[in-house]
Amino acid sequence: MISEKIKNQIQVVQGDITKLDCDGIVNAANRSLLGGGGVDGAIHRAAGPELLAECRTLHGCRTGEAKITKGYRLKAKYIIHTVGPIYSGTAEDAAQLADCYLNSLNLAKEHDVHSIAFPAISTGVYGYPLEDATEIAVKTVAQWLEDHADYAMQVIFCCFDARTERVYQARALQQ
Ligand code: AR6
């Protein structure tokens, strides 16, 4: 069960994450951190070339971990780059996907971020089944919010398409 307090800290919206006005947005990147397609490509295009220059200094990122950069031309002050698992159907996928959310939230808190938007990590090119990934995303975020009840954090699940939004709405309300 997710308490009403936690539910009020979680929002589901449909749209383009690069347009959101919050302290930080999360990028579903790859291990190189040097850009790609999907939401990664959109974030790099919107943030501008300075982002790639900073990413080059980070020397990649392991699956499940997260690294932070400035937001450059975005409204968001920070971009938190995390690398979701490429879906293989093993238990490790779920653990790594949960780590993406946990490590992103921890890094956000370290940088005094109080509002953060997540895309549906791994559910595009990386092939994670949407329902399963959504369950992990919502549960992991809700648990983190419970565990950090003394820290004001607003979490936005930014869904690019209508189907993703429907699944997130159903999952977020159901629990
Ligand atoms: N705003 C919000 N969500 C978006 C946007 C956007 N502008 N664009 C796409 N999405 P994906 P992955 C959604 O494939 O599965 C990249 O090439 C998309 O509809 O971007 O983690 C990286 O470099 C889907 O719901 O990320 C990696 O190589 C979700 O974002 C690889 O893809 C995630 O889809 C990572 O794959």
Q: Which residues contact 36 (CB under 8 A, 6 or more apart)?
A: 29, 30, 125
SS3 per-residue string spanning 46-96: HHCHHHHHHHHCCCCCCCCCEEEEECCCCCCCEEEEEECCCCCCCHHHHHH
**CA quadruple 32, 163, 22, 36: dihedral, nearest 10:** 20
Distance 175 CA to ligand 1 centre (A): 25
Q: Could you give all domains of the chain from N- to C-terminal order, each with its CATH number?
A: 4-174 (3.40.220.10)
Q: Which residues contact 96 (CB under 8 A, 6 or more apart)?
A: 63, 64, 84, 85
Distance 98 CA to ligand 1 centre (A): 17
Give the number of other CB atoms < 10 A from CB of residue 25: 30
Predicted TM-score of the model (pTM): 0.98
CA angle 85–67–118, rounded 5-degree value: 60
pLDDT for 1 equals 76
Mean pLDDT by 10 residues, the chain (175 residues): 90 98 98 98 98 98 98 98 98 98 98 98 98 97 97 98 97 73
pLDDT for 166 equals 97
Q: Ligand 1: which residue has its CA nearest to atom 20?
A: 38
- With a 6 Å cutoff on the Cβ, whether 31 touches ligand 1 is no
Q: How many residues are given for the chain?
A: 175
pLDDT for 173 equals 67
CB 83, CB 63: distance < 8 Å: yes
pLDDT for 149 equals 96
Q: Ligand 1: which residue has its CA nearest to atom 21?
A: 122
pLDDT for 175 equals 59
Query: Which amino acid is residue 97, in one-letter code?
Result: L
- With a 6 Å cutoff on the Cβ, whether 60 touches ligand 1 is no
Q: Ligand 1: which residue has its CA nearest to atom 5?
A: 39
- With a 6 Å cutoff on the Cβ, whether 129 touches ligand 1 is no
- With a 6 Å cutoff on the Cβ, whether 30 touches ligand 1 is yes
Distance 31 CA to ligand 1 centre (A): 14
pLDDT for 41 equals 98
